[in-house]
Chain A
Amino acid sequence: MKNGSTNKDAASRTTRRGLFVLGGQLVVAGVLGWRMRQLQIQQSDEFLLLAEENRINIRLIPPARGLMFDRNGKPVAENKQNYRIVMIREQARDPEAILRKLANIVPLSEQRIARVLKDVSQRPGFVPVSVIDHLTWEQISQVSANAPVLPGILPEVGLSRHYPQRSDFAHVVGYVGPVSDYDLANTDDTDPLLQIPRFQIGKSGIEKQMEKDLRGSAGTSRIEINSLGRVMRELSRVDGVEGADVQLTVDMDLQNYTNRRLFGESAAVSVIDTKTGDVMALASSPSFDPNSFVLGISGSEYNQLNTNEYRPLYNKAVSGAYPPGSTFKMVVALAALEAGELDPSETFWCPGHLQLGRRRFHCWRRGGHGHVNLHDSLKFSCDVFYYETARRVGIDRITEMARKLGIGVRHDLPMPAISEGLTPTRAWKQAIHDEQWLVGDTFNSGIGQGFVLASPLQLGVMAARIASGKVIVPRLVRSIDSKPVSLAEPEDLGISQSSLNLVRQGMYAVSNERRGTANRTRIVAEGMKMAGKTGTSQVRQITAAERAAGVTRNKDLPWNRRDHALFVAFAPYDNPRYAISVVVEHGGGGSTAAAPIARDVMLQALYGGTPPLSAYPKDQHQLIEEQREAMPKPGEEMRIVTQSDRA
C-alpha cells in the first residue's frame, strides 16, 4: 500500500505533463502545416516551373543543310540519305552476340565491335548507340529482313553531305565534317546545333565560309522525359528553317574540263567573266575527294594527302603566291604609260643584259632583242626593256598600278586563307627587312621577280581588268536562297583607253603575231582571238657553280627547283568575255607549259563545250586530237602522280 497523496501528486503531474506533451505535439503539427502552406501556396508557382523544367526536355531537330549548285543549277553539294544502324542495349540483351550476328550482314571490324560494346556499356540502356554509318540500301534492307533475330538493332535514316563532283569542286566547295572539340573551343557561335554529337559543319571552302547561310536553324521538339532521361512522349514540335541553297558562279562543265585538262599536274587555273567578275572556273590541281572527309578520312589516307609534294589539300588558286614573272610586265608598262615616262614609239637597245654597277641583269634571251619598243617588249617579253622602264617609273608607282589591277590586294571570296600576294614598296622593305630599297630591287620587280608575289586568282583579275578597263571584282556566289547577289556596275579603272589599248595590242601580238612568245598557242577561229602574256618565274638563282657545270636548263634541275610556268590571257580580243590565268608549278616555260592549257580552257569556255578543231592552227589538229584522246574521261578520278613517282 503506497501513500495515496503521493500517488495523487504523481497522477496529477503526469496529467500536467501529458497536456504539455500534447501541446508540444500540436505546435509541431502546426509548424508542419505552416511549412506545407509555405511550399504549396506561397512558393507553388516557382516549384511548378521547376517541375516542368524537370519534365520537359527540348530536343533539337537538325535542319537540312543548304544545297550548292553551279551557275546552271547543277548540284555540286547535296544531302544524301545516310543509312545507319543503331543499337539499343536494353532491347539487344546480349549486345556482343547480336553484333556478331550483324557482322554476317554488314562489314564490322573487330575494333568497331569493341568500340560499340564500350559505347553501349557507358550509356543508359535505352540510348541508341551508332553501330555503323553510310550503308547501302541493300545492306539496310538485309538488316531489316533479319530484324526478328537482331533485337535492339534499328536501321535509321539521316542526311549526310555528298559531293557528286568529287575532287573537281573540292577546293571551291570545301567539305563538312563532324563538329570537334577544337571547333567548339574556337568559336563564339552559340548555336545549340553544335552541341549535337557528330553534327556536320563546314570545315573548309565555301562550306566553312558560308556556314551561317548553309546551316539553317534548328527545329525543336519538346519531349517529356523521366528522371533517367528516357523519352516518354513528344509534347510539341516546332520545325526548323532549312539551310539556304547557294548558287555558285562556277560553270560545272568548265570546272570539270579544267581539272581534267590539268592531268593531275601541280597547277592552278582561274577563269573570270570580264564583264561581271563571275568566277567561271577555279581549279587547283591535284585535288582530293571531299567525300572521304565527310565519311571520316583514315589517318594513312590523310597523311598521304598531307605529305604529297604536289600539296593536293592546298588551294593553290587563291592561297598560292607565286612570282608573276613576265605576266607582271603589263603592270609596269601601264604604270610607265600613265606616268608619262614611256613613249609608245620609243625604242630601247637590248644587248641581252643591263649593267648596274658591278652587277649584270640578264635578259632571258642571251643574245638580246636589239631595238625594242613597247609593242615588241610585250611580244618578245624583253627583260631589259622592263629593267629600264621600271627604273624610270620607280617601285612605288609600279606597286600602285599593281594594286589597281588587283595584285597585292585581298579579293574577298568565301574561302579561307586567301592570299594577298605581295607588292613591295620602299617603306615595306625598310619595315620588314630593315634594308634600303635598291635599284636592283626595282629591276627585279620590273620583270615580276624579287619580292613580287601574286596568286592565280589575282592574275586572273588583272587580266580581266586589263581586258575591260573596269574594276572587276571576282565573285563566287550568284545567289543565296534563290535571291540573286546584287551586282554593282563595275567602276572605271581610271586608266586611259590609249594606254590600255597599247598594252592589249602587245598582248594580242604575244599570241597572234609571228615570233610572239605564245604564237604557237594562238586561237585561229574568227572572233575568238586570244590576247595573252607568258611568264616564266624563277624559283632560284642558277648558281655560279651550276652555270660552270653546265646546268642552265630547267630539265637538268630537280622538279621543285624548276621555274614556274605562267600565262594570263583574255578573249575574244575585240570583245572580251573571259580572262584566264594559269600557273603550273615548276612547269618550266610559260609558253610551253601554261599557254596550251590556257588556250584549251579558254576555247572550252568560249564555245561552252568542246570547241571545233578548226579553232586551232591547222598544223596542230592532230596533236590536239591525240591530246583529247589521252585526257581522263569525265568522272574518272585522277590518281595523284608526283614527280618523284615518275622518277
Chain B
Amino acid sequence: MTWMSEGTRPAPTGISKILHINWSLAILLTAVACAGFLMLYSVADGNIGVWARPQMIRFGIGIVAMFIIGLIPLHFWRGVSPFAYISALLLLVAVEFVGVTGMGAQRWIDLGFMRLQPSEVMKIALVMALALYYDWLDPKKVSHPVWVAAPLILTIIPVLLVLKQPDLGTAILLGGGAAVVMFLAGVSLWYFITAGVAGVGTVAAVIYSRGTEYQLLKDYQYRRIETFLDPSIDPLGAGYHITQSKIALGSGGLNGRGYMEGTQSRLNFLPEKHTDFIFTTLAEEFGFIGSSALLVLYALIIIFCMSSMLGNRNRFGALLTGGITATFFFFFAVNMAMVMGLAPVVGVPLPLVSYGGSAMLVLLGAFGLVQSAHVHRPRSS
C-alpha cells in the first residue's frame, strides 16, 4: 500500500468514520429494500407476517452489519479474503453431502437460526479472493498465461460446484463477477475477445450441428432452447411462466393496475411470485412508472458504487468494489431480463427485493465491504 501513500492524506479514524460512510448508497439500498417490503406485503394478500416482516428483520440485521463491516479497516478484510474463499469453497463441497435441496435447485445448510446458502457466500468470497490476487500480483504480469490461469482456476472450481447443484443463475453471477474483476485488473483484451469468439463459435456449432450426425445436444435440449426463444411454442408447459410473466408486466401499462390489484399475481398466474418473479407483480401493480423507477434506483446504486471505485486508488478496494458492483448488476439485470422474456429462466432473485435470507444478508455484507473500501480509501491531499 505504500505506493499510494504519496500525496494522500490519512484515512479517517475512530467515530469520525461514520461521517465518511457513503450515505447516499445506504439510502438507495434502503429505498430498494422498502419497495421489496411493499411487494412482499402485496403478494401475501396483505399479510405482513408471511414474508414482509421476516424480510424487514433481516434487512435490519443486514444494514447494521453493513455499517459495522464498513467501519472495520479494509486491510482487515484484505487479510480475511483467502480464508473467506477457502471456507466458502469448503461449505460448497460440504453442502453436496449434508445440504438440503429446496426452492428449486439451491442447496442450503440449516444453521438453526437461518438457512445458509454457501453459493451466496461464494459470490462475495470469490470477488474478495480475486481482488486480493490482483492486488498482490505485479500489474505487469496480469496478462501472462500462467497468471491468468490461476484466477481462472479459482473461478472455475466454485462455478462447477454450483452448476452441479444445479444452479445456473448463481454460476452466471459467479462467472460474470469474476470476469469483471479480471477485466478491471487489466487482463489483456485479447483473452476476452478470444473467450467471446469461442463462445459464439460454440453456440454456432451447437445450432448448426442439429439434425446432423454430430449433433451436440439432445433433442429435448434443443426444444428447451426453442421454447426459450419463442415461449408461445409451448404456452402451457415450459413457456407458461414466461408468458404469464409478460402478460403481468404488459397489463400493468403506464400507471399499473393499483397496489394489491394485480390480477395476475392475485390469482396465482405468476410462479414464484415472492422470489424470482416479484418484479412482475411490481410492474403489474405500479406499471411502467413503478418498474422504471426501480430500474433507476438500481442504476443509481451502480453509479454510486462505480464512482466510489473510480475514485479509489487502493487497488484492492477498487477491484473489490468493482467486482461486487458487477455481481449486483448481474443479479438484477439477469432477473429483469428473465421476467421480461429477454433471457432464459435461470433462477436469479431480484436483489434486495425478492424474499430470501441468505441473499439479503450476503448482499448487505458485500455492500459493507464496499462501504469499508469507500471509508478507508486513500484520499488526495
Chain A positions within 8 Å of B, measured between CB atoms, are: 1-2, 4, 6-7, 9-11, 13-15, 17-19, 21-22, 25-26, 28-29, 31-33, 35-37, 39-41, 43-44, 46-48, 50-52, 54-55, 224-228, 232
Chain A residues near B123: list those with CB within 8 A.
none
Q: Flag if B138 contacts A2 (CB, 8 Å).
A: yes
* Bound form: Cα–Cα A7–B140 in Å: 9
Q: Flag if B267 contacts A54 (CB, 8 Å).
A: yes
* Bound form: Cα–Cα A51–B264 in Å: 7
Chain A residues near B269: list those with CB within 8 A.
54-55, 226-227
> Beyond A14-B315, A29-B298, is A35–B340 a contact (Cβ under 8 Å)?
yes
> Beyond A39-B249, A227-B269, is A21–B322 a contact (Cβ under 8 Å)?
yes
B378 CB to closest chain A CB (Å) equals: 11
What residue in chain A is nearest B326 (Cβ atoms)? A21
> Beyond A21-B180, A32-B333, A40-B291, is A10–B186 a contact (Cβ under 8 Å)?
yes
13 A-B pairs besides A2-B3, A2-B138 with CB distance below 8 A are A6-B138, A21-B184, A21-B306, A26-B302, A36-B340, A39-B340, A40-B249, A41-B253, A50-B251, A51-B247, A51-B250, A51-B263, A224-B267
> Beyond A11-B315, A51-B248, is A29–B295 a contact (Cβ under 8 Å)?
yes
Q: Flag if B251 contacts A44 (CB, 8 Å).
A: yes
Q: Flag if B303 contacts A22 (CB, 8 Å).
A: yes
* Bound form: Cα–Cα A445–B156 in Å: 102
- B249 interface neighbour in A26, A47, A232, Cβ under 8 Å: A47
What residue in chain A is nearest B243 (Cβ atoms)? A50
* Bound form: Cα–Cα A295–B180 in Å: 75
Interface string of B165-207 (1 = CB under 8 A from A): 0000000000000001001111000000000000000000000
Interface string of B145-175 (1 = CB under 8 A from A): 0000000000000000000000000000000
What residue in chain B is nearest A44 (Cβ atoms)? B253
User: Which applies to chain A's interface (DSSP): helix, strand, loop or mixed?
Assistant: helix
* Bound form: Cα–Cα A43–B138 in Å: 53
Q: Flag if A14 contacts B186 (CB, 8 Å).
A: yes
What residue in chain A is nearest B270 (Cβ atoms)? A227
Q: Flag if A22 contacts B2 (CB, 8 Å).
A: no
Chain B residues near A32: list those with CB within 8 A.
295, 333, 336-337, 340, 342
Q: Flag if A55 contacts B263 (CB, 8 Å).
A: yes
* Bound form: Cα–Cα A50–B184 in Å: 45
Chain A residues near B288: list those with CB within 8 A.
36-37, 40-41
Q: Flag if A18 contacts B249 (CB, 8 Å).
A: no
B101 CB to closest chain A CB (Å) equals: 25
Q: Flag if B252 contacts A44 (CB, 8 Å).
A: yes
Q: Flag if A40 contacts B267 (CB, 8 Å).
A: no
Q: Flag if B306 contacts A22 (CB, 8 Å).
A: yes
- A25 interface neighbour in B267, B292, B329, Cβ under 8 Å: B329
Interchain residue pairs with CB less than 8 A apart (9)? A7-B3, A21-B183, A36-B291, A36-B292, A40-B283, A41-B254, A41-B288, A224-B263, A227-B244
- B299 interface neighbour in A26, A47, A48, A55, Cβ under 8 Å: A26
B181 CB to closest chain A CB (Å) equals: 10
* Bound form: Cα–Cα A523–B252 in Å: 87
Interface size on B, residues (CB 8 A): 54
Q: Flag if A47 contacts B315 (CB, 8 Å).
A: no
Chain A residues near B250: list those with CB within 8 A.
39-40, 43-44, 46-48, 50-51
Instruction: Determine if B287 is an interface residue (Cβ-Cβ < 8 Å).
Output: yes
* Bound form: Cα–Cα A4–B295 in Å: 40
Q: Flag if A29 contacts B267 (CB, 8 Å).
A: no
Chain B residues near A15: list those with CB within 8 A.
310
The interface centre, meaning the residue of A17, A22, A26, A224 with most chain B CB atoms within 10 A of its CB, is A22
Chain B residues near A50: list those with CB within 8 A.
247, 250-251
Instruction: For the complex of A and B, list the 3 residue pairs with the smallest distance between their C-beta atoms, beginning with the closest.
Output: A47-B250, A10-B139, A51-B251
- A33 interface neighbour in B266, B295, B309, B329, Cβ under 8 Å: B295
> Beyond A18-B309, A29-B295, is A40–B268 a contact (Cβ under 8 Å)?
no
Chain A residues near B6: list those with CB within 8 A.
4
- A227 interface neighbour in B268, B283, B325, B329, Cβ under 8 Å: B268
- A17 interface neighbour in B186, B287, B325, Cβ under 8 Å: B186
User: Which applies to chain B's interface (DSSP): helix, strand, loop or mixed?
Assistant: helix
Interface string of B315-353 (1 = CB under 8 A from A): 100110010011001000100110010100000000000
What residue in chain A is nearest B294 (Cβ atoms)? A36
Chain B positions within 8 Å of A, measured between CB atoms, are: 2-3, 6, 138-140, 142, 180, 183-186, 244, 246-254, 263-264, 266-269, 283, 287-288, 291-292, 295, 298-299, 302-303, 306, 309-310, 313, 315, 318-319, 322, 325-326, 329, 333, 336-337, 340, 342
Chain B residues near A6: list those with CB within 8 A.
138-140
- B306 interface neighbour in A13, A18, A226, A232, Cβ under 8 Å: A18
Q: Flag if A13 contacts B251 (CB, 8 Å).
A: no
Q: Flag if A10 contacts B315 (CB, 8 Å).
A: yes
Q: Flag if A14 contacts B184 (CB, 8 Å).
A: yes
Q: Flag if A47 contacts B251 (CB, 8 Å).
A: yes
* Bound form: Cα–Cα A10–B134 in Å: 11
* Bound form: Cα–Cα A30–B356 in Å: 27
Chain A residues near B329: list those with CB within 8 A.
25, 28
Chain B residues near A51: list those with CB within 8 A.
247-248, 250-251, 263-264
* Bound form: Cα–Cα A14–B267 in Å: 49
> Beyond A37-B288, A40-B252, is A1–B309 a contact (Cβ under 8 Å)?
no
B44 CB to closest chain A CB (Å) equals: 15
Q: Flag if B306 contacts A40 (CB, 8 Å).
A: no
Chain B residues near A37: list those with CB within 8 A.
288, 292
* Bound form: Cα–Cα A227–B139 in Å: 57
Q: Flag if A40 contacts B183 (CB, 8 Å).
A: no
Q: Flag if B299 contacts A9 (CB, 8 Å).
A: no
Q: Flag if A55 contacts B253 (CB, 8 Å).
A: no
Chain A residues near B184: list those with CB within 8 A.
14, 17-18, 21
A211 CB to closest chain B CB (Å) equals: 35
Q: Flag if B302 contacts A225 (CB, 8 Å).
A: no
* Bound form: Cα–Cα A46–B243 in Å: 13
Q: Flag if A1 contacts B298 (CB, 8 Å).
A: no
* Bound form: Cα–Cα A378–B351 in Å: 106
The interface centre, meaning the residue of A6, A47, A226 with most chain B CB atoms within 10 A of its CB, is A47
* Bound form: Cα–Cα A36–B290 in Å: 10
A152 CB to closest chain B CB (Å) equals: 23
* Bound form: Cα–Cα A138–B315 in Å: 88
Q: Flag if B333 contacts A29 (CB, 8 Å).
A: yes
The interface centre, meaning the residue of B244, B291, B318 with most chain A CB atoms within 10 A of its CB, is B291
Chain B residues near A228: list those with CB within 8 A.
268
Q: Flag if B287 contacts A40 (CB, 8 Å).
A: yes
Chain A residues near B299: list those with CB within 8 A.
25-26, 29
B80 CB to closest chain A CB (Å) equals: 22
What residue in chain A is nearest B283 (Cβ atoms)? A40
* Bound form: Cα–Cα A40–B142 in Å: 45
* Bound form: Cα–Cα A224–B322 in Å: 49
Q: Flag if A18 contacts B310 (CB, 8 Å).
A: yes
* Bound form: Cα–Cα A114–B329 in Å: 57
* Bound form: Cα–Cα A132–B92 in Å: 58
Chain B residues near A13: list those with CB within 8 A.
186
* Bound form: Cα–Cα A32–B251 in Å: 17
* Bound form: Cα–Cα A227–B243 in Å: 13
Q: Flag if B253 contacts A48 (CB, 8 Å).
A: yes
Q: Flag if B246 contacts A39 (CB, 8 Å).
A: yes
* Bound form: Cα–Cα A21–B326 in Å: 8
Q: Flag if B267 contacts A225 (CB, 8 Å).
A: yes
Chain B residues near A52: list those with CB within 8 A.
263
B277 CB to closest chain A CB (Å) equals: 13
Chain B residues near A46: list those with CB within 8 A.
250
Q: Flag if B291 contacts A25 (CB, 8 Å).
A: no
Chain B residues near A40: list those with CB within 8 A.
249-250, 252-254, 283, 287-288, 291
What residue in chain A is nearest B183 (Cβ atoms)? A17
* Bound form: Cα–Cα A43–B254 in Å: 11
Chain B residues near A2: list those with CB within 8 A.
3, 138
Chain A residues near B186: list those with CB within 8 A.
10, 13-14, 17
Chain A residues near B342: list those with CB within 8 A.
31-32, 35
Q: Flag if A232 contacts B267 (CB, 8 Å).
A: yes
